[in-house]
Copies of this chain bind each other. A is one copy, B any other.
Amino acid sequence: MVLLEEIREISIVSASKIVMLVIDGLGGLPDAKTGRTELETAHTPYLDQLAKKGICGLIDPVSPGITPGSGPGHLALFGYDPLKFTIGRGVLEALGIGFELTKNDVAARGNFCTVDGNGLITDRRAGRITTEKCVELCKLLSQIKLEGVELFVWPVKEHRFMMTLRGKGLSAEISDTDPQRLGVAPNSAIAEGSQAKQTVRAVNNFINEASKILASHHPANMILLRGFSKLPDIPSMSEIYKLTPAAIAVYPMYKGLAKLIGMKIFNADGGIQEELKVLAGCFEKHDFFYVHVKYADSAGEDGDFSRKVKVIEEVDSALPQLLNLKPDVIVVTGDHSTPAVLKGHSWHPVPVLLYSQWCRSDNAKEFSESACITGGLGRLHATDIMPLAMANALKLTKFGA
How many copies of the polypeptide does the oligomer hold?
A: 2
Within 8 A of B (CB), among A20-71: 29-30, 37, 58, 62-71
Within 8 A of B (CB), among A335-388: 339, 342, 345-348, 358, 360-363, 369-370, 373-380, 384, 386-388
The smallest C-beta distance from A371 to any residue of chain B, in angstroms, reads: 10
Instruction: Select the stretch in A86-94, A270-278, A292-300 that faces chain B.
Output: A86-94
* Interface contact A64-B388, CB-CB below 8 Å: yes
Q: Number of A interface residues at 8 Å Cβ cutoff, please give it.
A: 61
Chain A interface SS verdict (over half) = loop
* Interface contact B348-A29, CB-CB below 8 Å: no
* Interface contact B373-A369, CB-CB below 8 Å: no
* Interface contact A67-B360, CB-CB below 8 Å: no
Contact A2/B358 with A376-B373, A396-B65 known, Cβ cut-off 8 Å: no
* Interface contact A369-B360, CB-CB below 8 Å: yes
30 A-B residue pairs with Cβ-Cβ distance under 8 Å, sorted by A, are: A2-B65, A6-B66, A6-B83, A10-B66, A29-B360, A30-B361, A62-B399, A64-B380, A64-B387, A65-B388, A65-B389, A65-B391, A65-B392, A66-B391, A67-B396, A69-B399, A71-B401, A82-B399, A89-B401, A339-B358, A345-B398, A347-B387, A347-B388, A362-B370, A363-B374, A370-B376, A373-B375, A373-B376, A379-B379, A379-B380
Closest 4 CB pairs of A and B: A65-B387, A378-B379, A69-B400, A72-B400
Residue ranges of A at the interface with B (Cβ–Cβ < 8 Å): 1-3, 6, 10, 29-30, 37, 58, 62-72, 82-83, 86-87, 89, 92, 339, 342, 345-348, 358, 360-363, 369-370, 373-380, 384, 386-392, 396-401
